[in-house]
Amino acid sequence: MDGCGAGEAPDAAEFGDHDHPSTIFHVWQTNGGLNTPNLAKHGFLAACGVGSAGPPACFGRLRELSKGGKDSVTGHWEMAGIVTTTPFPTYPDGFPSEVVRAFETAIGRQVLGNVAASGTEIIERLGAEHVRTGFPILYTSADSVFQLACHEQVVPVEELYRFCQVARGLLVPPHGVERVIARPFEGDALYGFTRTERRRDFPMPPPRNLCDLVGDVFGIGVVPELFAGRGFRSVRRTQNNAEHAEMLWSALESDAQFIWANFEDFDMKYGHRNDPVGFGHCLEAFDPVLGSLVSRLLPSDLLILSADHGNDPTTASTDHSREYVPFVLIGDGVEAGALGDLEGMDTVGRAVARHLGLGWVFRGA
């Protein structure tokens, strides 16, 4: 559940979060409660500091150990056993001229922007100039990201993906940016520009991890991209929570041992846009999906609910927030109880490996 943080992490200030983020608690508080009986019953809300769970719940919180950042790559990597000890480079003042010049030379075009900015704000500000010139809009954020925005009628999306692949090849240490992201959009200056759902991520190749150990993961949403596709079977890329749910039902009918789904609408549509009311409605829309999922589990299945980071929509920032993440276990063999705060988001990967009878050879090995 992308961006669904469970409370301020002890090292939040080190990551620029000084306003005590607590994503789910603040969303619940702003909305005067949430109509999410399944999230409540299974301990997800309790893990986030909201009320108490039903008797069968097994829940707690996980403290992220990685220093790479507070984004999806770092969070998913740690869940899979990769604890990053060195922060990825960030560029609050834009990318250095040598990086930009090398990229412009490689794609044969200039770029616009090269600033840290909100994705929706920068296409409103530079979208018309991009349409006029065909120059890609380059921007970054508090995370280690090199983002390229192009209008789909000006730069075809496959060409935008090619630009991103070029950037990925150029961005090596000391400018080893964690993730290159394609941000296609549409619309016009008169009625406004809108990002489309054909985003694609191009991360640094990950070290060996749980997905390599499984070797045939059914990844839904952005997850395969975060691992450069390694260890994942080839499936259609889904782009929003409704599509992810439909793909999840298909995955449950497959022969996959491990299904890893990322539901990102919480983060992408509401967290980054400081919309706690929309975030709450999104949680309420997800709740029956969870209920249906639990009803489809086999006796041998284990369901884990967690998050990759926080994204508190009630704070001044539009960036991710450094928080604990919820950890909820659901299945016939799960012993109920409050687990408290546990060290390491790789607790998720350890639970998966133990359930599948796989050896664990990552952190601490």
What CATH number did the domain enclosing 343 receive? 3.40.720.10
Asked if residue 240 and residue 180 are part of one domain, the reply reads no
What CATH number did the domain enclosing 156 receive? 3.30.70.1250
Last residue of a domain, one of 186, 202, 218: 202
Domain total of the chain = 2
pLDDT digits (tens, 9 = 90+) for 57-85: 899 999 999 998 899 999 999 999 999 99
Which of 199, 193, 167, 187 lies closest to 268 in space, CA to CA?
Answer: 199
Give the residue ranges of DSSP H helices in the chain: 23-30, 37-41, 44-47, 72-79, 97-107, 119-133, 157-170, 210-214, 223-226, 241-252, 265, 276-296, 347-356
The answer as to whether 340 is a domain residue is yes
Please state, in angstroms and as integers, the Cα–Cα distance from residue 221 to each residue in 8, 197, 216, 247, 347, following that order. Answer: 26, 11, 16, 9, 22
Q: What is the mean pLDDT of residues 182-198?
A: 95
Last residue of a domain, one of 139, 170, 202: 202
Q: Could you write out the DSSP letters of every residue in 4-19?
A: ---SB-TTGGGGT--S
Q: What is the mean pLDDT of residues 13-23?
A: 96
The answer as to whether 362 is a domain residue is no
Asked if residue 341 and residue 211 are part of one domain, the reply reads yes
Asked if residue 304 and residue 240 are part of one domain, the reply reads yes
Last residue of a domain, one of 142, 176, 202: 202
One-letter amino acid for residue 140 of the chain: T
pLDDT digits (tens, 9 = 90+) for 218-245: 999 999 999 999 999 999 999 999 999 9
Asked if residue 55 and residue 163 are part of one domain, the reply reads no
| Domain enclosing residue 153, as ranges | 97-202
Asked if residue 180 and residue 223 are part of one domain, the reply reads no
Asked if residue 212 and residue 165 are part of one domain, the reply reads no
The answer as to whether 245 is a domain residue is yes
Token pair 């986030």: residue: 48
pTM: 0.87
Q: What is the mean pLDDT of residues 128-149?
A: 96
The answer as to whether 363 is a domain residue is no
Cα–Cα distance between 155 and 161 in angstroms, integer? 10
Higher pLDDT, 54 or 155: 155
- What is the percentage of the chain residues whose pLDDT exceeds 70? 98
Asked if residue 150 and residue 76 are part of one domain, the reply reads no
Cα–Cα distance between 146 and 43 in angstroms, integer? 37
pLDDT of residue 350: 96
Asked if residue 71 and residue 145 are part of one domain, the reply reads no
